Structure 1
């Protein structure tokens, strides 16, 4: 199993170097890395990737800026192998990531999505556990080792609080092509895609062995779109859609979880102080509307 590692790039060059170097450090060498540059203003990061001279690494620069969702769709178009990870250009793989994923897929070939073990790092690369990740730990499934979930139970849990770490997820290429990243969901595209896969009968394999470092920092898309309420507008639209789709499927618990989306509402409240400090009345009203339903 050659693992396709697709890396959309727009961000800090030093983080990109760390991300690429973490792929190069994999103990299992059977991987392919494609860095897709979304016309980042500085061309030096691209020249650095090209200078590595590793035949497993490919660098491409888009002809025009496609935006977050557009660049993810381009990554899906360029994927070639059966299993694909859409890695953040600011995240890091630990050396055992590819090997662990291989063993998980070999043991559970029917799993549509694989969630390896993840720890969170800050902008400087230090391990930490902010509030959002403590909440994720509270709502995710318990247990230990590799365990597979599907159907209404899985979707209800994720709708109560999305505990998946998108840049670490390993997908089937066929599912990425079939469902894709829909325009209109730039920030919550991960949950939208998971919903599509699970409603179509796909399962998720959850593992606890830490092999990936997810970087949570102030410059991330999610962090930047929180105080101005952009991501919560997307979440409201997605939860309304999922409420209807799960009700139609007869998944009452999942439908209620989507309608209530409690952790999303609480998250909006945590962003309210930043909107107040920014003096943005539109964002303030949007955050309150989302939080109070």
Structure 2
């Protein structure tokens, strides 16, 4: 059994696509739970849609009060019951073999804590796209994966701190382990990396696979993208990486500590945001981005 937890914030048309992609899975060993965290004025049609599905494997709940992204993520973690779980994006797409492939990978690597299946990126219209961010991630930071690869320990921590090449909504997590660590409620756009590093330092192994079974939708208007242009993402990132460096040093992983201090991919990301900030004539954002990109590691 795989618990697919879906925190919802967006519009009904994309939500329908996400839900119907789960219903179309070739392997029926799944259960879908949707936690609707939309403001009240935007919920039109969503409860009615789920009421009309009539599928006992699908559960829909509207949060009585708005939780925000990280607290809704944590609710997904707390409410999961199956041995493995997914926190799927409400606009992403599971290709028909996703559940089947995740079960197969877990059977091959029964002690794995985290499973990263193959992912392709789609745009707002659903077509496969090649963005600068994803091309850089795959060519520069991500390990070259052919078939199935197992990673763990300091080598995995170094790889992720150089550049987080994982796709959070596509990951399958061992439920007991993610519940033991949980999300940091003080983080908004980098909470997934902190959680993953917590699992790695606990001895957790990652299994990555090259078979594409998930479509990750890339939006320029996402919280992550908008906070990157204003520089807000990087204020949070600076504090996170400095704390991560200290934590890795204390754990006896000096190479990971060094990678955290340099946080190279995050600096390059800041550089790519400079033209957009300049176009908006935001001097404050330009200064924040420039300082972050070229500042010396501490």
Indicate the residue corresponding to 1:108 in structure 2: 109
User: Equivalents in 2 of 1:286, 1:108: separation in Å?
Assistant: 43
Aligned partner of 2:211 among 209, 212, 221: 209
Aligned residue for 1:12? 11
* TM-fit CA distance, 1:219: 2.6
Aligned twin of 1:47: 48
TM, length-normalised to structure 1: 0.97
* Equivalent residue, structure 2, for 1:229: 231
Contact 2:270 2:290 in 1 (8 A): yes
* Alignment partners' CA distance in 1, 2:25 and 2:255: 41
Structure-2 residue corresponding to 1:21? 20
Give the drift of 1:15.
1.1
Q: How many residues align?
A: 292
1:177 aligned residue: 179
Q: TM-score, normalised by structure 2?
A: 0.95
Gaps of 5+ in 2: none
Given candidates 159, 162, 165, the residue that maps to 1:160 is 162
> 1:50-101 CA deviation, whole Å, 9 max, x = no partner?
2211100000111111111011011112211110000000100000000000
Unaligned stretches of 5+ in structure 1?
Answer: none
Q: RMSD of aligned C-alpha atoms? A: 1.1
Once residues 246 and 214 of structure 1 are traced to their aligned partners in structure 2, the CA distance between those partners, rounded to angstroms, is 30
Partners of 1:274 and 1:210 in 2: CA distance? 32
Q: Assess if the C-alpha contact under 8 Å between 2:119 and 2:212 holds in 1.
A: yes
Tell me the secondary structure at the aligned position of residue 144 of structure 2.
coil
Q: Which among 174, 189, 193 is matched to residue 187 of structure 1?
A: 189
Partner secondary structure for residue 8 of structure 1: strand
Contact 1:121 1:128 in 2 (8 A): yes
For the Cα contact (< 8 Å) 1:39–1:64, is it kept in 2? Answer: no
Aligned to 2:2: 3
SS of residue matched to 1:226: helix
Q: Tell whether the 8 Å contact from 1:50 to 1:58 is kept in structure 2 after alignment.
A: no
Structure 1 residue 282 displacement after superposition: 2.4
Q: How does 1:31-110 map to 2 (within 5 A)?
A: 31-40=30-39, 41-43=41-43, 44-110=45-111
